[in-house]
Amino acid sequence: MFIVNSYLLAVLFCFITMMCWGSWGNTQKLASKSWRYELFYWDYVIGMVLFTLLIGFTMGSIGSEGRSFVPDLAQADPKGIWSVVLGGVIFNASNILLSASVAMAGLSVAFPLGVGLALVLGVIINYIGAPKGDPVILFLGVALIVIAIVCNGIASKRVQTGEVQRSQFRKGVVLAVVAGVLMSLFYRFVAAAMDLNNFEDPTPGMLTPYSAVFIFSLGVLASNFLFNTWVMKRPFDGAPVSYRDYFKGNFRTHLVGMLGGAIWCLGTTFSYIAAGKAGAAISYALGQGAPMIAAIWGVFVWKEFRGGGRAVNGLLALMFALFIGGLALIIAAGGN
């Protein structure tokens, strides 16, 4: 299988993760012109599963180091498998709520708040589970990102107009917060099933990143029949939708959703691959710089802060500066 053997390459993979995690929401925005997010989400999950198979039989099956994809699946310890599946279930509950928040509050609000909160809590959880890097520099970087999230929240509140819009926005914010708390928990369950210190000769029974992300995607798919079915019947906003509505979608619409799942899954796989060299906390934290990327899309492409004025623009500029500074400190923490 393909293995990252340098910290610099691990950081590059983490930046790709950040770009992917911060960009998949664009596919939901594109689909939302004619497609409810509950229906989009089914295609998203299907895209995840298909992409894990593709990357498993390519990057996960080449080279002479480590175990290749199929043999690794065959030798996996059931306890590790269930840990990864549980991670997938927790992530799916979180991500459905995040998708609902995107639909109600916008890309540049849901991601900085939900994923930013997940970053803060997740770094602490992952560092406790697998301490790697300078803790002072690492948590100073996290503190800057917390301040960036606050700036984003203030700016977002200032551009809301009308009682209906404010009510919908508040509901989206609450969903983002709950999503962030849940999202901070899933990564550790997946990382616990992998031998992060030795991908070249992994401990028998433990998983490699390629098999872990495949099992993870199956956990997401299985739980989606419960979570997304419930959300379809009892939506957070709008009328209920049915499976009949899903099959009315055209090929292009389905493809956009599957592309979203593939983009997210590419980022996740690269995050797990990089964790072997960078450590789980730093790999997770850099990937969770995704709110900055999502905010860039929301601000400059989708124009979600249009008409905000000088004060809002100033807060957004400060948010971006703090995010960049926080990420720089997180990178520096890994080199110590």
Residue 2 domain-assigned (yes or no)? no
Residue 15 domain-assigned (yes or no)? yes
Residue 84 domain-assigned (yes or no)? yes
pLDDT band, residue 280 (cuts 50/70/90): low
Which positions ≥6 away from 309 have C-beta within 8 Å? 158
Q: CA 268, CA 130: separation in Å to the nearest integer? A: 18
Calculate mean pLDDT across residues 267-278. Answer: 85
Give the tens place of pLDDT for each residue, 308-336: 788 999 999 999 999 889 878 877 886 55
Q: What is the DSSP string of 303-321?
A: -TTTT-HHHHHHHHHHHHH
Instruction: State how many domains the chain has.
Output: 1
Residue 265 domain-assigned (yes or no)? yes
User: Which range is least confidently modeled, 129-133, 198-202, 270-274?
Assistant: 129-133
Residue 228 domain-assigned (yes or no)? yes
Note the residue count of the chain. 336
pLDDT band, residue 161 (cuts 50/70/90): low
Burial pattern 29-67, b for ≥16 Cβ within 10 A else e, equals bbbeeebbbbbbbbbbbbbbbebbeebbeebbbeeeebb
pLDDT exceeds cutoff 80 at 77: yes
H-only helix segments in the chain: 7-23, 25-31, 37-56, 69-75, 78-105, 107-110, 116-129, 135-158, 163-191, 209-233, 243-246, 251-278, 280-287, 290-296, 309-334
Residue 1 domain-assigned (yes or no)? no
Give the tens place of pLDDT for each residue, 186-198: 888 998 899 877 8
Q: Which domain holds residue 306?
A: 7-334
